[in-house]
Amino acid sequence: MAELNTGDGGGGKGGKVRSKKQNSKVDLTAMVDLAFLLITFFMLTTTLSKPQSMSLGLPDKEDKPEDKIEQKVDENRTLTILMGANNQVKIFRGFLATPKLAPKTVAYGKDGLRKDLLEQKQAVLAYSTAKGKPDQGIIVIIKPSKKSNYRNLVDVLDEMAIVGVPTYAIVNDFSPEEAKLLEGNPAPAAVPNP
Protein backbone atom coordinates (compact mmCIF):
# COMPACT_ATOMS: atom_id res chain seq x y z
CA MET A 1 0.00 0.00 0.00
CA ALA A 2 2.64 2.39 0.96
CA GLU A 3 5.06 1.22 -1.72
CA LEU A 4 6.01 3.61 -4.41
CA ASN A 5 6.40 1.94 -7.73
CA THR A 6 8.84 3.67 -9.91
CA GLY A 7 9.40 1.11 -12.60
CA ASP A 8 6.37 0.80 -14.80
CA GLY A 9 7.38 -2.33 -16.68
CA GLY A 10 7.84 -4.44 -13.62
CA GLY A 11 4.38 -5.87 -13.55
CA GLY A 12 4.89 -6.88 -9.95
CA LYS A 13 6.66 -10.11 -10.85
CA GLY A 14 9.28 -11.08 -8.32
CA GLY A 15 10.72 -7.49 -7.94
CA LYS A 16 13.25 -7.64 -10.79
CA VAL A 17 14.67 -4.22 -11.26
CA ARG A 18 15.46 -3.56 -14.85
CA SER A 19 17.82 -0.75 -15.37
CA LYS A 20 17.18 0.97 -18.61
CA LYS A 21 20.03 0.49 -21.04
CA GLN A 22 21.59 3.79 -21.85
CA ASN A 23 22.71 4.31 -25.36
CA SER A 24 26.48 4.41 -25.19
CA LYS A 25 26.92 6.16 -28.52
CA VAL A 26 27.70 9.82 -28.44
CA ASP A 27 27.15 12.00 -31.44
CA LEU A 28 30.65 12.86 -32.56
CA THR A 29 29.73 14.98 -35.56
CA ALA A 30 30.30 18.29 -33.86
CA MET A 31 33.61 17.13 -32.45
CA VAL A 32 34.82 15.98 -35.84
CA ASP A 33 33.73 19.28 -37.35
CA LEU A 34 35.73 21.18 -34.81
CA ALA A 35 38.78 18.97 -35.22
CA PHE A 36 38.83 19.39 -38.96
CA LEU A 37 38.40 23.13 -38.65
CA LEU A 38 41.44 23.30 -36.40
CA ILE A 39 43.42 21.01 -38.71
CA THR A 40 42.68 23.30 -41.63
CA PHE A 41 43.72 26.32 -39.61
CA PHE A 42 47.02 24.80 -38.52
CA MET A 43 47.82 23.44 -41.96
CA LEU A 44 47.34 26.81 -43.60
CA THR A 45 49.18 28.83 -41.00
CA THR A 46 52.21 26.55 -40.78
CA THR A 47 52.90 26.26 -44.47
CA LEU A 48 52.29 29.89 -45.29
CA SER A 49 54.22 31.50 -42.49
CA LYS A 50 57.59 30.05 -43.46
CA PRO A 51 59.53 32.91 -44.99
CA GLN A 52 61.03 32.54 -48.42
CA SER A 53 64.49 33.75 -49.16
CA MET A 54 66.69 34.35 -52.14
CA SER A 55 70.37 33.92 -51.69
CA LEU A 56 72.67 36.56 -53.02
CA GLY A 57 76.37 36.26 -53.51
CA LEU A 58 78.48 39.35 -53.86
CA PRO A 59 82.05 39.48 -55.10
CA ASP A 60 84.86 39.95 -52.64
CA LYS A 61 85.37 43.52 -51.68
CA GLU A 62 88.89 44.62 -52.41
CA ASP A 63 90.28 46.84 -49.74
CA LYS A 64 93.05 48.23 -51.89
CA PRO A 65 91.89 49.60 -55.22
CA GLU A 66 95.31 49.01 -56.81
CA ASP A 67 94.88 45.27 -56.26
CA LYS A 68 91.88 45.18 -58.52
CA ILE A 69 92.36 43.06 -61.54
CA GLU A 70 90.91 44.74 -64.54
CA GLN A 71 88.94 42.21 -66.41
CA LYS A 72 87.93 43.07 -69.90
CA VAL A 73 84.61 41.82 -71.12
CA ASP A 74 83.08 42.18 -74.49
CA GLU A 75 80.89 45.27 -74.32
CA ASN A 76 78.44 43.61 -76.67
CA ARG A 77 77.49 41.23 -73.90
CA THR A 78 76.94 43.68 -71.07
CA LEU A 79 73.50 45.01 -70.37
CA THR A 80 73.41 47.76 -67.79
CA ILE A 81 70.33 48.32 -65.68
CA LEU A 82 70.16 51.68 -63.96
CA MET A 83 67.55 51.70 -61.24
CA GLY A 84 66.01 55.11 -60.71
CA ALA A 85 63.27 56.66 -58.66
CA ASN A 86 59.54 56.11 -59.19
CA ASN A 87 59.94 52.45 -60.12
CA GLN A 88 61.60 53.27 -63.41
CA VAL A 89 64.64 51.60 -64.85
CA LYS A 90 66.87 52.56 -67.71
CA ILE A 91 68.64 49.88 -69.66
CA PHE A 92 71.28 49.97 -72.34
CA ARG A 93 73.67 47.47 -73.87
CA GLY A 94 77.30 48.16 -74.55
CA PHE A 95 79.03 51.40 -73.61
CA LEU A 96 76.86 54.39 -72.89
CA ALA A 97 78.73 56.47 -75.48
CA THR A 98 78.38 53.88 -78.24
CA PRO A 99 75.46 51.74 -77.17
CA LYS A 100 74.39 48.63 -78.97
CA LEU A 101 70.96 49.22 -77.55
CA ALA A 102 70.14 52.87 -77.01
CA PRO A 103 69.18 53.74 -73.42
CA LYS A 104 65.50 53.38 -72.83
CA THR A 105 63.19 53.67 -69.90
CA VAL A 106 61.18 50.65 -68.91
CA ALA A 107 59.01 49.70 -66.00
CA TYR A 108 59.41 46.69 -63.76
CA GLY A 109 57.44 43.57 -64.32
CA LYS A 110 56.35 41.17 -66.97
CA ASP A 111 55.70 43.57 -69.81
CA GLY A 112 58.56 45.94 -69.13
CA LEU A 113 61.91 44.74 -67.96
CA ARG A 114 61.36 41.05 -68.57
CA LYS A 115 60.45 41.48 -72.21
CA ASP A 116 63.56 43.53 -72.85
CA LEU A 117 65.74 41.16 -70.88
CA LEU A 118 64.53 38.20 -72.91
CA GLU A 119 65.10 40.08 -76.16
CA GLN A 120 68.57 41.14 -75.14
CA LYS A 121 69.42 37.67 -73.92
CA GLN A 122 68.52 36.28 -77.34
CA ALA A 123 70.45 39.04 -79.09
CA VAL A 124 73.58 38.38 -77.06
CA LEU A 125 73.24 34.66 -77.59
CA ALA A 126 72.97 35.22 -81.34
CA TYR A 127 76.03 37.45 -81.21
CA SER A 128 78.06 34.92 -79.25
CA THR A 129 76.99 32.07 -81.49
CA ALA A 130 78.03 34.07 -84.51
CA LYS A 131 81.43 34.47 -82.91
CA GLY A 132 81.59 30.75 -82.28
CA LYS A 133 81.23 30.91 -78.52
CA PRO A 134 77.63 30.00 -77.81
CA ASP A 135 78.35 29.41 -74.13
CA GLN A 136 78.95 33.09 -73.49
CA GLY A 137 75.66 34.51 -72.35
CA ILE A 138 74.55 37.94 -71.34
CA ILE A 139 76.18 39.82 -68.48
CA VAL A 140 73.86 42.10 -66.58
CA ILE A 141 75.19 44.94 -64.48
CA ILE A 142 72.68 46.15 -61.92
CA LYS A 143 73.23 49.65 -60.70
CA PRO A 144 70.83 50.68 -57.96
CA SER A 145 70.71 54.42 -57.45
CA LYS A 146 70.15 56.09 -54.10
CA LYS A 147 66.55 56.71 -54.98
CA SER A 148 65.66 53.13 -55.73
CA ASN A 149 64.22 51.06 -52.95
CA TYR A 150 64.63 47.54 -51.72
CA ARG A 151 61.58 46.25 -53.53
CA ASN A 152 63.13 47.36 -56.83
CA LEU A 153 66.32 45.49 -56.05
CA VAL A 154 64.47 42.31 -55.18
CA ASP A 155 62.34 42.69 -58.30
CA VAL A 156 65.39 42.99 -60.53
CA LEU A 157 67.10 40.04 -58.86
CA ASP A 158 63.90 38.09 -59.29
CA GLU A 159 63.84 38.92 -63.00
CA MET A 160 67.38 37.58 -63.25
CA ALA A 161 66.18 34.29 -61.80
CA ILE A 162 63.08 34.16 -64.00
CA VAL A 163 64.82 35.08 -67.24
CA GLY A 164 67.80 32.90 -66.40
CA VAL A 165 70.61 35.39 -66.71
CA PRO A 166 73.84 33.45 -66.24
CA THR A 167 75.99 36.30 -64.94
CA TYR A 168 74.91 39.37 -63.08
CA ALA A 169 76.50 41.74 -60.64
CA ILE A 170 75.43 44.59 -58.41
CA VAL A 171 77.66 47.57 -58.95
CA ASN A 172 77.38 50.66 -56.82
CA ASP A 173 79.58 53.07 -58.80
CA PHE A 174 77.88 55.44 -61.15
CA SER A 175 79.82 57.12 -63.89
CA PRO A 176 78.93 60.81 -64.32
CA GLU A 177 77.27 60.09 -67.65
CA GLU A 178 75.11 57.39 -66.15
CA ALA A 179 74.10 59.63 -63.29
CA LYS A 180 73.19 62.31 -65.80
CA LEU A 181 71.17 59.86 -67.84
CA LEU A 182 69.24 58.85 -64.77
CA GLU A 183 68.73 62.41 -63.56
CA GLY A 184 68.52 64.22 -66.84
CA ASN A 185 65.18 63.05 -68.10
CA PRO A 186 62.01 64.94 -67.28
CA ALA A 187 59.35 63.50 -65.04
CA PRO A 188 58.67 59.83 -65.78
CA ALA A 189 55.15 60.58 -66.91
CA ALA A 190 56.50 62.59 -69.84
CA VAL A 191 58.66 59.72 -71.05
CA PRO A 192 56.83 57.74 -73.69
CA ASN A 193 56.93 54.14 -72.69
CA PRO A 194 57.34 51.86 -75.66
Partner 1 sequence: MAKIKMNKKSTSTDMTAMCDVAFLLLTFFILTATAKVPAALPVDTPASTVQTKLPEKDLATLTVGAGKVFFDVKGKFVRVRTLELMSDKYGVKFSDEDKEKFGKMESFGVPIQSLKQIIDMNPADRNKAGQPGIPKDSLDNQLADWIQNARIANIELQEAELQIAIKGDAKEEYPAIRRVMDILQDQKVNTFSLVTGLRGKEEF
**Three-state SS for 34?**
helix
If you write DSSP's letter for every residue of 115-143 in order, what string do you get? HHHHHHHHHHHHHHHHHT-TT---EEEEE
Coil, helix or strand for 110? coil
> Which residues touch 25 (CB under 8 Å, ≥6 apart)?
none
Residue type, 7: G
The count of other CB atoms within 10 Å of the CB of residue 121 is 18
Rounded-to-integer distance, Cα 70 and Cα 49, Å: 45
In whole angstroms, give the CA distance from residue 64 to residue 187. 39
Min dist. Cβ of residue 140 to partner 1 (A): 17
Q: CB-wise, 112 or 144, nearer to partner 1?
A: 144
Query: Please, which residue, 42 or 180, has the CB nearer to partner 1?
Result: 42
In whole angstroms, how close is the CB of 63 to partner 1 at the nearest point?
9
Least distance (Å) from partner 1 to the CB of residue 145?
7
22 vs 98, beta carbon nearer partner 1? 22
- Closest separation between CB of residue 82 and partner 1, Å? 12
Work out how close the CB of 29 gets to partner 1 at its nearest, in angstroms, rounded to a whole number: 6
Query: Quick one: 19 or 52, whose CB is closer to partner 1?
Result: 52
Between 110 and 180, CB nearer to partner 1:
110
Which residues contribute to the site for partner 1 (CB under 8 A)?
A: 25, 27-29, 31-32, 35-36, 38-39, 42-43, 45-46, 48-61, 83, 110, 144-155, 157-158, 161-162, 172
SS (H, E, C) 75-87: HHHEEEEEECCCC
